[in-house]
Structure 1
């Protein structure tokens, strides 16, 4: 489980809400954060806008959150690890949020309580889950969580990201880096293809004869033409992608021998970055809030379609057209907070609107982006307009796009953590 938010009205003035980014009490979550942007945003907006009418509790086991967005830039040497780490202290000191550093281990939906690893049980009137992703067991034959220190996923930012960076920097001259890319849908950022760009940037400077191989089960991917144009311009001959037509969908790995079997052809690798198929964070499944791999929600309020008192945000959701990004989770959190505040205090609730932009860095000052605006229908959150960078853009525009992403990072982290 990941971040969890519990919200309760103050008796005599409104209600009680619990907000939690409650990570699963398992190996994957213990090794790093990566999905707290929705829960922290919802908690902050509920506390800020309810003017004390709602008791807000944020359950989060780690004291520092490392953002998945910009974690690829750490791998590429454009950021330090400390620069993508953020504390929950301001949420407690400036907004009066009760921040509980513990693991949420279960939800009793009938009793409306959240059970913590330390033994406590927290009641709620409204509950927000921002559980991020876990991995589909057996998605990549030969790999499971016990192999993540040998073949890291680095898809939950923090120690996994630092491990992958260290492995890349330790590659022998002329060595081979293999990425096993995920099928759709997947969390992005950290985007697989921006990561390839950042790995190529490092290797082009320190190990220019190294090779990068992508085993990809998908026939195509977002911003593909932009990435392939950039790879040809900046990293000629270094990167090879094998899609499903060339065996990229039939992959097995052997962590002991550091080999990757791609449709029967064995590749000896020095670094293997395995990004498996993904699903909603474990707490959603444990609380019977999923259908298939994802948690269905109503796009008008992000409320679970299986429980009217639980809202689910971000990567874990089946909501329609929005990507599984930090920008999306932040946008969804504000809609959920407004809906909860309306339900508990009677305040006005405005029609939901959402937005998202995803930036990617291909090389120094060569940034690209894709984004859209969204509105809910009865069936889903639907895209109503979109934009994407174009191939052939000049260097000044690409530099401006990258600088725009830097401003966005500062803005969204302030919006999340105060």
Structure 2
């Protein structure tokens, strides 16, 4: 099935129409506060306001007035999209009945059910949705801290870091070396680092064809590995070397001051280094008390409700929910389930059994797109994969082109579904 803007939005509208909530008359509107305006948070806010039929007071708190999507940002690095195409405002979210506040949440009082913002405002809530994405684990890459991101960028939160990384790749000397320190599991967008390598390779092939790329990886295997390795051999033969944990990829030190990576005690000079550190739930989830010792927030598989607080729901990258990858598609899917559950609790509207889905597309080279995905259902223990698919190695060029074009339709559709 080809996903395009009409199909993606149309599916959501049909579901939303079935789930419209009854008005709650003679009562103050229940208040829902949503923290984080990305694929999970903005979707949940829009669906709550729209399908709540005016019965809910919905407030979205997001630090950035214009949101830059991390998904598809690799294509900007590769030269396939302009930066502005990744940026989305909240005018249509506001027009849909959501109060949007540009600020940062700094505290949550679960007992009082309040959220405090950096600007001093205090928001009451009946239900709280947290969708703050990821934060980084300090010390996960020896020698690197967040303070070094201007020298060795992570670009794993899209925005200025994305532009910085691209500019550093473009400034590499002829025949220079690009290094990536890949993250340990679990992390945002499992195929993302390897799509990024593909996009960096494509850019270098155009401007610096004798350059080399090193991937220093703590994992024995990674998402779409056979597809990426096939593509790299076809399009970028001899340019990319992957160093896994068996050969020192899992014990890498970096030296930002001298632009070096240290592999098994041996320092190597590089010209650009992309450090993607270990990750955990966005900080506000820990502040709210819904994360556990893993650094992620365990949730009920059928509703996305935090297991540690019945009035808080956690979506997307921050949640520990089972088999779903940390992706925009996943967050958007989870948001609709959570919005339905919250409407049911606060307005008495009907709640249908939860179903989830995800697809992750990756671009390897011009018109050479691949994908992986699954459908999911809740079990007693987790959100479990019930059917899955992945592109095959050896696919013909026409199919790969169609897969890439499908991804463009998906981006148009999902961003309309998130931001209006």
TM-score past 0.5 threshold: yes
Decide which of 346, 354, 357 is 2:356's aligned counterpart. 354
CA distance in 2, matches of 1:369, 1:134: 26
Q: After the TM superposition, which residues 204-223 of structure 1 pair with which residues of structure 2 at under 5 Å, given as runs? A: 204-223=205-224
**Secondary structure, counterpart of 2:40 in structure 1:** helix
Give the SS at the match of 2:310.
Answer: strand
For 1:161, the equivalent position in structure 2 comes to: 162
Does 2:286 correspond to 1:272?
Answer: no
Query: Distance in 1 between the 2:135 and 2:402 partners?
Result: 35
By percentage of residues, which structure has more strand? 1
Contact persistence 2:62–2:104 (CA under 8 A): yes
SS across alignment from 1:358: strand
Cα contact 1:13–1:53 (8 A) shared by 2: no
CA contact (8 A) 1:134 1:279 kept: yes
| Deviation digits for residues 18-66 of structure 1 (CA, Å, limit 9, x no counterpart) | 33234xxxxxxxxxxxx71100000000001011000100011111111
Alpha-carbon shift at residue 76 of structure 1 (Å): 0.2
For normalisation by structure 2, the TM-score amounts to: 0.93
Deviation at 1:208? Answer: 0.3
Map residues 62-141 of structure 1 onto 2, 5 A cutoff: 62-93=64-95, 95-141=96-142
Distance 1:396 1:67 in 2: 28
Look up the match of 2:177: 176
Aligned position for 2:231? 230
C-alpha separation in 1, matches of 2:87 and 2:382? 33
| Alignment-derived partner of residue 27 in structure 1 | none
2:405 paired with 1:391: no
Specify whether residues 190 and 71 from structure 1 end up closer, same or farther in structure 2 by C-alpha distance, changes over 3 A only.
farther
SS of equivalent residue, structure 1 residue 253: strand
**Number of the residue aligned with 1:17:** 31
SS of 1:192 mapped into structure 2? helix
1:297 equivalent in alignment to 2:299: yes
Where does residue 255 of structure 1 map in the other structure?
A: 256
For the structure 1 residues 91 and 189, does the alpha-carbon distance in structure 2 shift closer, same or farther, using more than 3 Å as the test? farther
> How is 1:304-343 mapped onto 2 (pairs within 5 angstroms)?
304-343=306-345
Indicate the residue corresponding to 1:61 in structure 2.
63
Q: Which residue of the partner structure matches residue 191 of structure 1?
A: 192
Partner Cα separation in structure 2 for residue 50 and residue 234 of structure 1: 50
Q: Which runs of 5+ in 1 are unaligned?
A: 1-8, 23-34
Matched, 1:414 2:411: no
User: In the TM superposition, what is the alpha-carbon distance from 1:122 to its structure 2 partner?
Assistant: 0.2
Higher RCO (Cα < 8 Å, 6 or more apart) = 2
SS at match of 2:30: strand
Displacement of 1:285 after TM fit?
Answer: 1.0
SS at match of 1:179: strand
Mapped partners of 1:97, 1:343: distance in 2: 19
8 Å Cα contact 2:190-2:223 kept in structure 1: no
Alignment RMSD (CA, Å): 1.2
Corresponding position of 1:374: 376
* Aligned residue pair count: 397
Output the CA distance in 1 between the equivalents of 2:79 and 2:89.
22
- Worse-superposed segment, 262-271 or 344-353: 262-271
Inter-partner Cα distance in structure 2 for 1:196 and 1:156: 17
Task: Compute the TM-score of the two structures, normalised by the length of structure 1.
Answer: 0.93
Q: Which runs of 5+ in 2 are unaligned?
A: 1-22
The secondary structure found in structure 2 opposite 1:352 is coil
Secondary structure in 1 matching 2:284: helix
Q: Within 2, Cα distance between the matches of 1:190 and 1:55?
A: 37
Look up the match of 1:26.
Answer: none
User: 1:4 maps to what in 2?
Assistant: none
